Chains A and B, each alone.
Chain A
Amino acid sequence: MKRFLAIMMCLVMVLAVVGCSNGAKTETPKTDDTAKKVKVGFICLHDEQSTYDLNFINAAKAACEKLGVEMVLKTGINEDNSCYETAADMAASGCIAVFADSFGHEDYMIQAAKEFPDVQFCHSTGTKAHTENLPNYHNAFAAIYEGRYLAGVVAGLKLNEMIEAGKFTAEEAKVGYVGAFTYAEVISGYTSFFLGVRSVCPTATMEVTFTGSWYDPTAEKEGAQKLIQGGCKLISQHADSLGAPSACEEAGIPDVSYNGSTKEAGPNTYLISSRIDWEPYYEYAITAAMNGTPIDVDWTGTIATGSVKLTELNEGVVAAGTAEKLAEVQAALEAGTLHVFDTANFTVKGEKLTSYLADVDTDDAFTPDTEVIKDGYFSESEFRSAPYFDVQIDGITLLDVNFG
């Protein structure tokens, strides 16, 4: 008992120190804001080291600055209960809206949304909002397959240039792709990229390897090296580290990256990168939350909303005439005369795709539920914002399937 008393005394001492600081703090400049600032919470899977999260963090900063709201940022939040705890904590601490950036955060965001009906929960890349029917839970994505397609065009032109220069034959034009998981978002990404490549370099083929992680610099680098050793002439990626770009720079292989420029990691090999700019969505959703107006259940950004962006071309590395071709294709996409997943442009097991039921309403077993082929193209991102294109098309070989 005596020990107990003693340790209690110690704690009282410690708390006294804390308590004093409580009293002394009232005149710090933090409280000088005239009005109560609106607070908005952002949950990120990793920190700025990951290009994926950096892309979100930059958008969050830009949107908050523009709207004059306070940004509460938590990085390194895993796709487990800590996401629920963080989201609930943000809501309980006065945030009017909470955003999360990773696919696996979804269940935990829904859990928090159920508990705090007055706070808006917006989840990027998620798939469940349209079936959960919660008024304060929303999904968002962008038609990034259009950006990927454009990046693919740049890659295809580079392949053509190398073929013409006699570096390899047209039949050897093989593209390598480092993916994360065998999930629709990744499949939609590499397929649209490949279709972009093949629209200008018809003999191109592609090999895909998976790392089983959204962020694993070593595995991504090794994946890229494996593809290069297997004869790939150009590499692209859907994984978030600088692993693949640095492997390409070491091997002198052109690289199309994702989520932002990696020119610093590969000044002599980086071509272009496509990315989603989340700032328009954040601005839209935060404004709606402030005004109390409804937020779309599924919001899909496009090139027109400024959500699908291409980073600057690396002029010294890309093929001549790339910029002109890019502008031409982009105009066709925006005008709706060109569809990325036009069924005339790809085959599945040697046949044209005339009907396809996609798994739009998420369930455990991936039950197909919605017809997504219409007017001769696969209508991606129409029935929900997150991609659902999961068709294995001809010309693409999956080297391994890592479910890590």
Chain B
Amino acid sequence: MKSKKALFHIVKRDTLPWYKSWMIRGAAILLALVMCSLVTVMVTGLNPLDLYKTMFYGAFGTERKTWVLFQKLAILLGISLAVTPAFKMRFWNIGAEGQVMAGGLACAAIMITLGNKVSSNGLMILMMVVASIVAGAVWGFLPAFFKAHWNTNETLFTLMMNYIAIQLAAYFIIIWEVPKGSGKIGMINQNTRMGWLPYLGGKQYAIIIIVIAILTVLLHIYLKYSKHGYEIAVVGESERTARYAGIKVEWVIIRTMILSGALCGFMGMLLVGGTDHTLSTDIVGGRGFTAVMVSWLAKFNPIVMVLTSFLLVFMQLGAKEVATNFYLNESFSEILTGIILFFIIGCEFFITYKLQFSKSGKEA
């Protein structure tokens, strides 16, 4: 008699029509923005409209800020693209951080050791590209090889490869530091600009943005229309089906991880040669992990990833501007980004499930 009825039940939804699920996502973003403004008002007493205006200014306020936005977008998107093939295959590669680092390290090695030995910048960049792709590919190949042959756990393996890459970078930074004892490399070839990617039309970041735009389209075609892409999808759905269909699963795993790692390595080259011109242990800055989220939120669709990475970068730059303008600590921007992510990830729950409230109120 006293049995209590639950207030609500969680029920799995039928597949939602596309516009409904996107309405939920849109609502989540709006709610997140409201929540952000609430928190800001509580902490600072600011007008929430000011907050949005400042965020927008932080992202698009000057021509320079807009370029930086697109550059950061390009880098995050590039790393997200790189991790996508493996994820689509249900290979939990969280080693992008290390793969990018390995590529960046190889690139920096070429720039530093051959900076005054090679006269042609074109040749230099070619070597940087090859070296970083090879380094990234090796970092991707190792966990895949072990997974394919001995079924090791790829999550742990790729995670630990991150630390190896970062420690290697730390080691070489000590060897290359300028001046000795400072623990920093400083800008590589600052005066000769050897190995620096060219400024297209005087714009430093143009080349990176163009390269990533092309890469996005290529990867979309690769995943959607190529035989490789089909194999990746089948292996991801069910390894047994793949085997039954005559797909060499081991080879697909290894091949795909080499591709993922190589792309990550290439991104490391873009970071060191294109934007930062230095190497530090936090050059990737967690983007190897953020990329997983970007890729996941976009359901592994490269075109949608443009939007998810845009959202994250916009938030990051906007929140940074808020932090500076109102004399808040950098952590404040992280809080805002955290709120947004919480809502976006949380809303996926409401797309898959719905709450059914029980009508117990009337009976009682």
A residues bordering B, Cβ < 8 Å?
A: 2-4, 6-11, 13-14, 17-18, 20-22, 24-25, 28, 47, 72-76, 78-81, 85, 88-89, 92-93, 103-104, 106-108, 110-111, 181-183, 212-213, 359, 362, 364, 366, 403-404
Shortest distance in angstroms between B312's beta carbon and chain A's nearest beta carbon? 13
Contact of B106 with A by CB under 8 A: no
Does B61 reach chain A (CB closer than 8 Å)? yes
Question: Is the pair B25, A2 in contact by a Cβ cutoff of 8 Å?
Answer: no
| 12 A-B residue pairings within 8 Å (CB atoms) | A8-B307, A14-B33, A17-B52, A20-B49, A25-B50, A25-B53, A75-B329, A80-B282, A81-B275, A107-B187, A110-B187, A181-B183
Q: Given the complex of chains A and B, what is the CA–CA distance between A103 and B64 in angstroms?
A: 26
Tell whether, in the assembled complex, residue B181 and residue A7 are in contact, meaning their CB atoms are under 8 Å apart.
Answer: no
Q: Which residue of A lies closest to B64 (CB)?
A: A92
Say yes or no: is B62 at the interface (Cβ < 8 Å to chain A).
yes
A-side contacts of B311, CB under 8 Å? 11
- Which residue of the partner chain, among B33, B178, B301, contacts A364 with CB atoms under 8 Å? B178
Contacts of A403 in B (CB 8 A): 174, 177, 181, 183
Are A3 and B18 within 8 A (Cβ)?
yes
Do A104 and B19 touch (CB < 8 A)? no
Instruction: Tell me whether B282 and A78 are in contact (CB under 8 A).
Output: yes
Inter-subunit contact B25/A7 (CB<8 Å): yes
Q: Are B62 and A92 in contact (CB under 8 A)?
A: yes
Distance in angstroms between the alpha carbons of A17 and B64 in the assembled complex = 24
B226 contacts the other chain (CB 8 A): no
A7–B50 alpha-carbon span in the complex (Å) = 25
Residue of A nearest to B277 (CB): A81
B26 with A9: CB separation less than 8 A: yes
Q: Which residue of A is nearest B281, CB measured?
A: A80
Could you tell me if B276 and A182 are in contact, using CB atoms closer than 8 angstroms?
no
The verdict on B363 contacting chain A, using a C-beta distance below 8 Å, is no
A172 to B: closest C-beta gap in Å: 31
A212 to B174, CA, bound (A): 11
Shortest distance from the beta carbon of A118 to any chain B beta carbon, whole Å: 14
Give chain B residues whose Cβ lies under 8 Å from the Cβ of A108.
187
CB-based contact A80/B276 at 8 Å? yes
A17-B30 contact, Cβ under 8 Å, with A4-B304, A81-B276: yes
B180 touches A366 (CB 8 A): yes
Bound-state Cα–Cα, A3 to B22, Å = 7
B1-49 contacts to A, CB under 8 A, are 18-19, 22-23, 25-26, 29-30, 33, 47-49
Closest residue to A108 on the B side, CB-wise? B187
Residues of the B chain whose Cβ atoms lie less than 8 Å from the Cβ of A2: 18-19
Chain B contributes a number of interface residues (CB within 8 A of A) equal to 52
**Number of A-B contacts defined by CB within 8 Å:** 130
**When the two chains form their complex, are residues B179 and A362 in contact, meaning their CB atoms are under 8 A apart?**
yes
Which residues from chain B contact A6 at a C-beta distance below 8 Å?
18-19, 22-23, 26
Q: In the assembled complex, how far is the CB of residue A248 from the closest CB belonging to chain B, in whole angstroms?
A: 26
Q: A28 and B178: CB pair below 8 A? A: no
Residue from the list B29, B50, B62 in contact with A14, Cβ < 8 A: B29
User: B residues within 8 A CB of A18?
Assistant: 52-53, 55-56
Residues of B within 8 A of A103 (CB): 182
B61–A93 contact, CB under 8 A? yes
Q: How many angstroms from the CA of A282 to the CA of B23 in the assembled complex? A: 53
Return chain B residues, CB-CB under 8 Å to A20.
49
Q: Which chain A residue lies CB-closest to B310?
A: A11
Closest chain B CB from A46 CB (angstroms): 10
CA distance A62 to B25 in the complex (A): 47
Which residue, of B29, B52, B181, B184, has the highest number of chain A Cβ atoms within 10 A? B181
Of B179, B277, B329, the residue contacting A183 (CB under 8 A) is: B179
Q: With A and B bound together, what is the CA distance between A366 and B48 in angstroms?
A: 53
Contact present for A183 and B68 (CB under 8 Å): no
- Taking the closest CB of chain B, its distance from the CB of A326, in whole angstroms, is 32
Please measure, in the bound complex, the distance between the C-alpha atom of A75 and the C-alpha atom of B328, giving whole angstroms: 9
B36 nearest CB across to chain A (Å): 11
Contacts of B184 in A (CB 8 A): 79-80, 104
User: Which of B183, B187, B327 is most buried by chain A, counting CB atoms within 10 A of its CB?
Assistant: B183
- Interface flags, B279-296, vs A, CB<8A=1, else 0: 010110000000000000
For the complex, give the distance between the alpha carbons of A47 and B328 in Å.
10
In the assembled complex, the CB of B12 is this many whole angstroms from the nearest CB of chain A, namely: 21
Whether B65 lies near A89 (C-beta < 8 A) is yes
Assess the A73–B324 pair: CB atoms within 8 A.
Answer: yes
**Residues on the A chain within 8 Å of B177, using CB:** 403
B29 to A4, Cβ gap below 8 A? no
Q: B190: which A residues are within 8 A, CB to CB?
A: 107, 110-111
| B186 touching A7, Cβ below 8 Å | no
Q: Measured between alpha carbons, how far is A11 from B307 in the docked complex, in Å?
A: 9
Let me know if B339 is at the binding interface, CB within 8 A: no
Find residues 158-204 in chain B having any chain A CB closer than 8 Å to their own CB.
174, 177-184, 186-187, 190
Give the top 3 A-B pairs by smallest Cβ distance, nearest first: A6-B22, A21-B49, A10-B26
Contacts of B276 in A (CB 8 A): 80-81
Residue of A nearest to B188 (CB): A107
A284 to B: closest C-beta gap in Å: 25
CA distance A359 to B330 in the complex (A): 37
Interchain CB contact (< 8 A) of A10 among B22, B49, B64, B277: B22
Contacts of B183 in A (CB 8 A): 104, 181, 212-213, 403-404
Q: Is the CB of B330 within 8 A of A76?
A: yes
Contacts of A79 in B (CB 8 A): 184, 280
Given contacts A10-B29, A182-B181, A183-B182, contact A89 B64 (CB under 8 A): yes
A92 touches B63 (CB 8 A): yes
B303 lies within 8 A of chain A by Cβ = yes
Kindly report which residue of chain B lies nearest to residue A102, judged by CB atoms.
Answer: B184
Q: Which of B49, B51, B68, B304 contacts A3 (CB 8 A)?
A: B304
Within 8 A of A (CB), among B180-238: 180-184, 186-187, 190
